Amino acid sequence: MMPPILRLNNVSRSYKTRNPDGWGSTVLRAAADVTLDVYEGQTLAIVGESGSGKSTLAKLLLMLHPPSSGDVEFRGASLAKLDKRRRSEYRRQVQAVFQDPSSSLNPQMTVEQTLGYVVRRHDLVSDADQRGFLLRQLESVGLEPADHYLTRYPHQLSGGQQQRIAIARAMMLEPKVIIADEPLSSLDVSIQAQVLQLMLDLRTRTNVGFVIISHDLAAMQSIADVTAVMYRGRIVEIGKDVYDKPAHPYTRLLLDARLASNPRHGRIRAAAATKTPTVRSVRLEGGCSFRDRCPYAVEICATSEPVLRPVGAGETKAACHRADEFSA
Amino acid sequence: MSTAPSAPLLRVSDLKVHFRVADRLVRAVDGVEFEINAGECVGVVGESGSGKSTLVRAISRLMPNLPLDEVSGNVAFEGRDIFAMNDRELRALRRSRGFSMIFQDPLGYLNPTQRVGRQIAEALSPDGRGRPDRVRVQELLDEVGFPDPARVARRFPHELSGGMRQRVMIAIALASDPKLLFADEPTTALDATVQLQVLETLYRLHKERNMAVAIITHDLGVVAEMCDRVYVMQTGKILETASTVDLFEKPQHPYSARLVSLSTHRLHGAGGPE
Amino acid sequence: MTELTTPNPAQTTLSRWRTTVGHMMGTRHGAIGTVILLLLAMTAILAPYVAPYTPLQQTTQSLAPPSAAFFFGTDNIGRDLFSLLLYGAQSSLLVGLGAALAALLVGGTIGILAGYFRGRVEVVLMRVIELFQTLPVIMLVLCAVALFGSSFSLLITAVALAIWPMEARLVYGQYIKLREREFIAAARVADLSTWHIIFREILPNAAQPIIVQVALDASIAILIEAGLGFLGLSDPSMVSWGQLLFVAQDYMDSAWWMSVFPGAAICLTVIGLNLFADGLNEIVDPRSSRGMGGLQ
């Protein structure tokens, strides 16, 4: 296998916030000791709930935030130390699509302006060819007739059309990998399916890799090659078939929380009349950070922090002391 | 109950809500027929722009602040015409044994400067007369699944997580002991694990109180888990109404069929016209 | 989804300006404010052609009440008050605009630096802004006038010093808010230059409240200028409304017209600028009026 294009090497990112009383500050670790490889042509899904730090990983990979410790590497070189030429290469090869397409396009610019600035910055084509180039780009993300869209402002387009423009902006640089932070969550279900299909098409056509940050396990199951599950800033499980054979109790919890797609198999109706108490999340010192919600927690979980390690014979890795018992 | 058992709790006939936005006529709700029976759980499914939120807002007479072009039709709650009610009658209906509503974003509806206990107490006696009934407040908080009601009552909304806030909203909605609860995308903003808990709570309350629930959602999973019957909405019109099982197994309208297949297999049916 | 007529690319910039002006005249405040400001600007420009007398020309009648010969009467040394007011419009508007633009330049630069770059730059610049907000500007101007004598450019500098922190805070706030938007992250990922991000991506989105603030600043500047003139600190070689009020103090009981007309002129200008700012505020940007607004 080729060496990874992007690599998080033991990366942590913490945010300092002043306490409400004004005395001292609290350090929040949005990402803690994360090691992760991103390969060209591969689709890596990072799933987790809000606050799990998955968006922080996207920002780190895109160099929008510097890591607090550890290294983010592009083809073996630390992002912080890239020279001008390598940096420009990085910016072309690693692109992004954001969550809210209405916010990721400048409201004051037409589609042509938004895309045109990028074309000129990277000298993609000569000024004379620019219009034709942009038209081809729009067609390749399924916006036809393309000239109809060039003069539009973002607010004149639907969410799905906006997201296609955002994808065109990323694809036009012919990147090796696109980091997509919740690219579907602000779209309607039927539009989600179309955008997902577009991403699949682009992958087969150009062999572009994706890192997709999402809370939607069902959508990721249909597209991901590898899935990483995050909980409280850590990757708790990573592997190819976490959906069918979850090794970490948290992954299992997430999978169990999916709603039924068949009314005959609905669990809520079946299990009605039991009072489910809310779980009070507390920041835990030491040990496994999932143990307060974990039905299988034992003594060792409170004292020793589990590290990500291979489980069973497969390629799955999980950070759980008892992972082997479950997957057996 | 004064109504005959066969009459529905809520009957909406030929409801139209038309807005004028920047010289364009928007038929947000366009001739909708809609019914909910006592103790029933009904889903209203549609994508954004289908008019599903406007529908419930029109029914409960909470209209957005927009130039209305036309609101017409008939909305009868236990046989009484809601559109013909004056403010006092409407308030009485909202205050006791009528209908309540919860929304996607509880933070927008909770007062940030008041403790949640007080806000529930106010819902119990909206005229502000009488002592805040602490016992009732704690009973309600207990009913929506808080293990420590007394503590939660002393919290401010911003000190609670999204799921807890939604439970507080439900408690406030229950204060009037409603016969019908409208839930507008109640779990859309919540994490999956929390969504499941809140839906379970809603379903339990629906059964325990024999309270009719109308869930407005874009997520067929919510419908599959909760609802007895579904209305499918698109561009202001009801396309199909069926029992939940029928909708999933033999959808009549092609649009419903597409929604169902999308919720089952995420990629199936993609590529159609936008 | 939404079908709209395709705008012709060549006309967009021009037509957007035209619609802005159109919207402005559609609001009551904006229309009244714009008309007042246009009239004042014409007055200032045309003063030499329409004024019956030059500002320094003395007539034989001093303290004459308003009449057909002297519309607004004459002052204590026999100058025609109507002509003085027309010429005064020049200096008042120049001070107002000059100081507001100077404040925009200084405040805007500092606001952008603090708001976009954050970090240590932000901490230092915000302290500087606070320092200037606490300085007793009028006292400083008094000292400066005592040291260097009064001049027009000193006046503009002094007024600009007094108002730039407000402008800086506003620009700072806009940049803080907008730099977190996703289109800025997208621009950074596309490797667009910092210069491009600050001026092409953020500035057009921040422009509207900034323009409103400039209009309000101009009215404050005119008031400060009038105040300084009233204290006798204006440039003696120029006519200004504040200066006229300063002279009028001694004749309050004998010649009411000397104080009433300059006072009314200041009022009218300040009201005009505020109405103009109100109008700008009322024009909702094209997004919400063309789009679906708050309807889901």
Per-residue pLDDT of chain B (274 residues; tens, 9 = 90+): 444 456 889 999 999 888 877 677 888 888 899 999 999 999 999 988 888 888 888 888 777 666 677 788 888 999 888 888 888 888 888 888 889 999 888 888 899 999 999 899 888 876 656 666 888 899 999 999 888 899 999 999 988 888 899 999 999 999 989 999 999 999 988 888 889 989 999 999 999 999 999 999 999 999 999 999 999 999 999 999 999 999 999 999 999 999 898 887 765 433 333 3
Q: What letter does residue C65 receive in the DSSP assignment?
A: P
Tens of pLDDT, residues A93-103: 999 999 888 89
Residue C138 — very low, low, confident or very high, per pLDDT cuts 50/70/90?
confident
Task: Please compute the mean of the pLDDT values over residues C9-28 and round it to a whole number.
Answer: 67
Task: Please compute the mean of the pLDDT values over residues A71-97 and round it to a whole number.
Answer: 93
CA distances to B48, B111, B114 from A163, rounded to whole Å, are 16, 35, 40
Residue C240's Cβ-side half-sphere holds a number of Cα atoms within 13 Å equal to: 29
Instruction: Give partners of B (≥3 CB pairs < 8 A).
Output: A, C
A216-235 burial, b at 16+ Cβ within 10 Å, e below that, comes to bbbbbbebbebbbbbbbbbb
With an 8 Å Cβ cutoff, are C292 and B28 in contact?
Answer: no
Q: Is A268 near chain B, with CB under 8 Å?
A: yes
Residue C143 — very low, low, confident or very high, per pLDDT cuts 50/70/90?
confident
Whole-angstrom distance, CA of residue A22 vs CA of residue A6: 39
> Could you tell me if A37 and A7 are in contact, meaning their C-beta atoms sit under 8 angstroms apart?
yes
- Best CA proximity match to A166, nearest among C41, B117, C189, B98: C189
A20 pLDDT higher than 80: no
- Search chain B and give the residue with CA nearest A277: B145
Strands B237-243 and B229-234: antiparallel
Strands B212-217 and B41-45: parallel
Residue C291 — very low, low, confident or very high, per pLDDT cuts 50/70/90?
very low
What's at B96, amino acid-wise?
S
Residue C157 — very low, low, confident or very high, per pLDDT cuts 50/70/90?
confident
With an 8 Å Cβ cutoff, are C1 and A64 in contact?
Answer: no
C208 pLDDT higher than 50: yes
Structure tokens at C82: 């109507």
Strands A177-181 and A209-214: parallel
C-alpha triplet A250, A255, A258: angle, nearest 5°: 135
pLDDT of residue B140: 92
φ and ψ of A210, to 5 deg: -130, 145
pLDDT of residue B69: 72
Q: What is the ipTM of this complex?
A: 0.87
What's at C43, amino acid-wise?
T
Most confident of B254-258, C91-95, C291-295: B254-258
Least confident of B150-159, C65-74, C95-104, C285-294: C285-294
Tens of pLDDT, residues A159-180: 999 999 999 999 999 999 999 9
Q: How far is A243 from chain B (nearest CA, A)?
A: 15
Instruction: Give partners of C (≥3 CB pairs < 8 A).
Output: A, B
Q: H or E element: which one contains B162? A: helix B162-174
Which residues of A, range 139-158, sit inside 8 Å of B by Cβ? 158
Give me the DSSP letters along A183-247.
SSTTS-HHHHHHHHHHHHHHHHHH--EEEEEES-HHHHHTT-SEEEEEETTEEEEEES-TTTS--
Percent of chain A exceeding pLDDT 90 equals 52
Residue A275 — very low, low, confident or very high, per pLDDT cuts 50/70/90?
low
pLDDT of residue A299: 86
Helix (H, G, I), strand (E, B) or coil at A169: helix
CA Rg value for chain A: 22
> Could you tell me if B244 and A309 are in contact, meaning their C-beta atoms sit under 8 angstroms apart?
no
pLDDT of residue A328: 57
CA distances to A25, B227, C128 from C132, rounded to whole Å, are 30, 63, 6
Q: Which residues contact B101 (CB under 8 A, 6 or more apart)?
A: B56, B60, B62, B173, B181, B182, B183, B184
> Could you tell me if B42 and B227 are in contact, meaning their C-beta atoms sit under 8 angstroms apart?
yes
Provide the 10 A C-beta neighbour count for residue C24. 18
pLDDT of residue C293: 31
- Search chain A and give the residue with CA nearest C7: A151
3-state helix, strand, coil split of chain C in percent (to 5) is 75, 0, 25
C288 pLDDT higher than 60: no
C292 pLDDT higher than 60: no
């190819």: which residue's tokens? Answer: A240
With an 8 Å Cβ cutoff, are B66 and C1 in contact?
Answer: no
Give me the DSSP letters along A301-319.
HHHS----EE-SSSS-EE-
pLDDT of residue A137: 94
- Search chain C and give the residue with CA nearest B21: C292
Residue A144 — very low, low, confident or very high, per pLDDT cuts 50/70/90?
confident
What burial class does residue C49 get, using C-beta atoms within 10 Å of its C-beta: 0-12 exposed, 13-18 middle, 19+ buried? exposed
pLDDT of residue A135: 95
What burial class does residue B171 get, using C-beta atoms within 10 Å of its C-beta: 0-12 exposed, 13-18 middle, 19+ buried? buried
CA distances to B195, C93, C95 from C229, rounded to whole Å, are 67, 14, 12
The minimal CB distance from A117 to the residues C2, C192, C286 is found for C192
Residue A260 — very low, low, confident or very high, per pLDDT cuts 50/70/90?
confident
Task: Please compute the mean of the pLDDT values over residues C21-42 and round it to a whole number.
Answer: 85
Provide the 10 A C-beta neighbour count for residue A256. 12
Whole-angstrom distance, CA of residue A52 vs CA of residue C210: 38
pLDDT of residue C287: 43
Percent of chain A exceeding pLDDT 70 equals 95
pLDDT of residue A272: 53
C24 pLDDT higher than 80: no
> Could you tell me if A209 and A42 are in contact, meaning their C-beta atoms sit under 8 angstroms apart?
yes
Q: Which residues of B touch A264 (CB under 8 A)?
A: 245
pLDDT of residue A102: 86
pLDDT of residue C134: 86
What's at C263, amino acid-wise?
G
Q: H or E element: which one contains C88? A: helix C81-117
